[in-house]
Amino acid sequence: DGGITQSPKYLFRKEGQNVTLSCEQNLNHDAMYWYRQDPGQGLRLIYYSQIVNDFQKGDIAEGYSVSREKKESFPLTVTSAQKNPTAFYLCASRRRAGTGSGNTIYFGEGSWLTVV
Amino acid sequence: GQQLNQSPQSMFIQEGEDVSMNCTSSSIFNTWLWYKQDPGEGPVLLIALYKAGELTSNGRLTAQFGITRKDSFLNISASIPSDVGIYFCAGQLLGPGGGADGLTFGKGTHLIIQP
């Protein structure tokens, strides 16, 4: 099946640890995104990438890092600098930004991160 | 980033009723997208709109791209229990501005269906 795969679905982090969330897409999309969703809140953009080896900070990038070494992969690392990391994380992708169907963004199933 | 105003924030309806929700902005968009999100899952695309005035249906769902390009609505007819969830709108800004290539999200409408 074509789509966006996030793993793991559930992850527990100890204080001071870095953890990495995986996001893989086989849709041949150029752009990929990471969003954070807190209970009762909308989606907040962490990082996005429009092309391999390039990425941009979103609205809440502090305490997070990403890489885009391959078109299909966009992993997110939650570092120990992120003081309140407990949230639901969503990865998304789209063919390209511009007009028409290339604008349509598709989401993965999400990953829950909890600090213990 | 640019905000979309989505309303209502929540809806409590009886099974079988029709539902209507909308998103508005002061900016012009060239794409409107509607999603449904179940608890603990990622948003699933319901309807995509690419032209002003476009009216598109997907089963019991109907959405329209406002003629001014600043708004969109989603209607659900004859609601059923599985319609429960959070519905999000998203818009692609026409021109510069906004976050992440101009993609902007509403904060969602919580739909609750009373038996």
- Encode burial over B40-65: b for 16+ CB neighbours within 10 A, e otherwise: eebbeebbbbbebebebeeeebbbbb
Those residues with Cβ within 8 angstroms of residue B77's Cβ, 6 or more apart along the chain or in another chain: B18, B19, B60, B61, B62
Mutate which of A7, A9, A43, A48 to test chain B, going by most B C-beta atoms within 10 A? A43
Across the range A47-52, mean pLDDT stands at 94
Average pLDDT, rounded, for chain A: 92
Cis peptide upstream of residue A39 (ω within 30 degrees of 0) = no
pLDDT score for A97: 73
pLDDT score for A100: 79
Average pLDDT, rounded, for chain B: 91
- Contact across the interface for B42 and A90, Cβ inside 8 Å: yes
Structure tokens at A26: 């086989």
- Contact across the interface for A108 and B99, Cβ inside 8 Å: no
Q: Identify the bridge partners of residue B59 per DSSP, sorted by sequence position.
A: none
What is the DSSP-derived secondary structure letter of residue A80? T
- B3-55 per-position pLDDT tens digit: 789 999 999 999 999 999 999 999 999 999 999 999 899 999 999 999 999 99
- Contact across the interface for A107 and B48, Cβ inside 8 Å: no
pLDDT score for A42: 86
Q: What percent of chain B has pLDDT over 70?
A: 93
Question: Is residue A22 within 8 Å of residue A77, measured between CB atoms?
Answer: no
- Contact across the interface for B42 and A105, Cβ inside 8 Å: no
How far apart are the CA of A49 and the nearest CA of chain B, in angstroms? 9
Other Cβ atoms closer than 10 A to A49: 20
Contact status of A100 with chain B (Cβ, < 8 Å)? yes
| Unique residue bearing structure tokens 């539902």 | B19
pLDDT score for B114: 86
pLDDT score for A103: 83
Q: Which of B114, B75, B86 lies closest to B9 in space, CA to CA?
A: B86
Question: Is residue B89 within 8 Å of residue B33, measured between CB atoms?
Answer: yes
How far is Cα A11 from Cα A78, in angstroms, rounded to an integer?
11
Give the strand pairing for A43-51 and B10-14.
Answer: unpaired
pLDDT score for B25: 93
Across the range A49-74, mean pLDDT stands at 96
- A6-26 per-position pLDDT tens digit: 999 999 988 889 999 999 999
Question: Is residue A92 within 8 Å of residue A109, measured between CB atoms?
Answer: no
Those residues with Cβ within 8 angstroms of residue B59's Cβ, 6 or more apart along the chain or in another chain: none
- Contact across the interface for B40 and A110, Cβ inside 8 Å: yes
Chain A hits for B51, CB-CB cut-off 8 Å, are: none
How far is Cα B47 from Cα B36, in angstroms, rounded to an integer?
10
Q: What share of chain A is helix, strand, coil (3-state, %, to 5)?
A: 5, 50, 45
How far is Cα B84 from Cα B68, in angstroms, rounded to an integer?
30
pLDDT score for A49: 95
pLDDT score for A113: 95
More confident residue, A104 or A2: A104
Structure tokens at B17: 């009723």
Cis peptide upstream of residue A75 (ω within 30 degrees of 0) = no
